Copies of this chain bind each other. A is one copy, B any other.
Amino acid sequence: MSGERHPALDGWQTDGGELLVGGVPLSRLAARVGQTPFFAYDRARLTARVDELRRVLPAGLHLHYAVKANPMAAVVQHLAGLVDGFDVASAGEMTTALDTPMAADRISFAGPGKTDAELEQAIAAGIVLHLESEGEMARAAAIAEVQGRRPRVAIRVNPDFELKASGMKMGGGPQQFGVDAERVPQMLGELAKMDLDFAGFHLFAGSQNLRADILMDTQAKIVDLAIALAAHAPAPVTHLNIGGGFGIPYFPKDQRLDLGPVGDHLAELAARVAGELPEATLITELGRYIVGEAGVYVTRVVDRKESRGQVFLVCDGGLNHHLAASGNFGQVIRRNYPVAVGTRMDGAVETASVVGCLCTPLDLLADRAELPRADVGDLVVIFQSGAYGPSASPAAFLGHPPAAEVLV
């Protein structure tokens, strides 16, 4: 295990020196999958995470899953029975979501560059469209007319504030996302003249935030803004998506988000919304927070080599499967994800770097980590790999096979 125990390792069990995933020892799971590398997602941990959210969040708040975080069909199917709705970011994700028992009107589609083809599919499906611009609204209305349908639409708002201290800022200042808040009243006036069914608003300010105080401050501002904008709406707000932004601990010294105060505060906001926008379903949309900690990436040591005093564990997978763990996906400073040798959870440690099999120095999974001494054939585990793993990685890079995925 790398250095002091990381909060990401809470709840992971071992047996006989092996990590258990879904109760299965890792080497047996690898045999069952039939190949390395693979991503394994723990079904029980997904369920437990949604249960935890249900305990902490107010009863009336709808919990949506953002499919982009992990679009594996089995994961989305499992979550369909646990959450209240899905958010999708493309026609591809929409297809995955529609293949579950989730009702189409519980599925919403946001994304700044929806093509006409995607709008056609979404309107035919009967999902909720999150309009990203006035131009997209006009295109949606024209397509709806051709189809003879009246789609439910919400306006995605680019707030006049941002989510501070977040991994990704997606609101405030000039943005490709949504419509500037100050232009929304006029857009609502135009919307009223179109054959579109006004549903409400989508306000999303950022993601991967570990600070409860900042999340709460942002959520309050989002609700204030939504209530102010609703005064200009052609119909009562029925759909109010306030985004998510809940972070998970990836790196050394990251502290777990304190969910309790966030839940209490959301209960206050829900009460306020119930008073001001009585027909509104209040929605929080979480992706990474639901799936991120339920998954591991597993890769086998192909070579153990020393070079000028440094130990390298060369593995059969790396950034081609797990770009974020290599530190090359938007990170300014590279830091190690939590890492272990899943087949030697309790051996004497050494300092070793874990690298992939690609001919590039970028292919680094762990830089000089404290790990039990591993050898060829051992399985290295990267934790916190349930979100933005294979779908966010350059699988074809250098022509190696893709990673398998398994829900255990």
Task: Give A residues with C-beta under 8 Å from B.
Answer: 67-68, 71, 88-93, 96, 110-115, 132-136, 158, 168-170, 173-177, 180, 302-305, 307-310, 312, 314-316, 318, 323, 328-330, 332, 353, 355-363, 376, 390-401
Residues of chain B within 8 A (CB-CB) of A176 are 305, 307, 312, 314, 353, 355, 361, 363
Indicate if the CB atoms of A174 and B309 lie closer than 8 Å. yes
- Copies of this chain, tallied across the complex: 2
Which one of B67, B115, B169 contacts A361 once the chains associate, using CB atoms below 8 Å? B169
Indicate if the CB atoms of A112 and B394 lie closer than 8 Å. no
Residues of chain B within 8 A (CB-CB) of A88 are 399
Indicate if the CB atoms of B359 and A112 lie closer than 8 Å. yes
Interface of A is mostly: loop
Indicate if the CB atoms of A303 and B359 lie closer than 8 Å. no
Indicate if the CB atoms of B392 and A303 lie closer than 8 Å. no
**In the assembled complex, how far is the CB of residue A175 from the closest CB belonging to chain B, in whole angstroms?**
5
Q: Which residue on B lies nearest to A360, using beta carbons?
A: B168
Q: Which residue on B lies nearest to A299, using beta carbons?
A: B113
**In the assembled complex, how far is the CB of residue A73 from the closest CB belonging to chain B, in whole angstroms?**
11
Residues of chain B within 8 A (CB-CB) of A308 are 173-174, 180
Residues of chain B within 8 A (CB-CB) of A71 are 396, 399
Q: Contacts A89-B359, A113-B315, A330-B328 given; indicate if A175 touches B307 (C-beta within 8 A).
A: yes
Residues of chain B within 8 A (CB-CB) of A394 are 323, 391-395
Which one of B303, B314, B359 contacts A68 once the chains associate, using CB atoms below 8 Å? B359
Seed contacts A135-B303, A174-B310, A332-B332; 4 additional CB < 8 Å A-B pairs: A71-B399, A180-B308, A391-B396, A391-B397
**In the assembled complex, how far is the CB of residue A372 from the closest CB belonging to chain B, in whole angstroms?**
19
Which one of B173, B316, B396 contacts A113 once the chains associate, using CB atoms below 8 Å? B316
**In the assembled complex, how far is the CB of residue A156 from the closest CB belonging to chain B, in whole angstroms?**
10
Residues of chain B within 8 A (CB-CB) of A400 are 90, 92
A76 to B341, CA, bound (A): 39
11 contacts between A and B (CB under 8 A): A91-B399, A112-B355, A114-B302, A132-B314, A158-B307, A174-B307, A175-B307, A176-B305, A176-B312, A330-B360, A391-B396
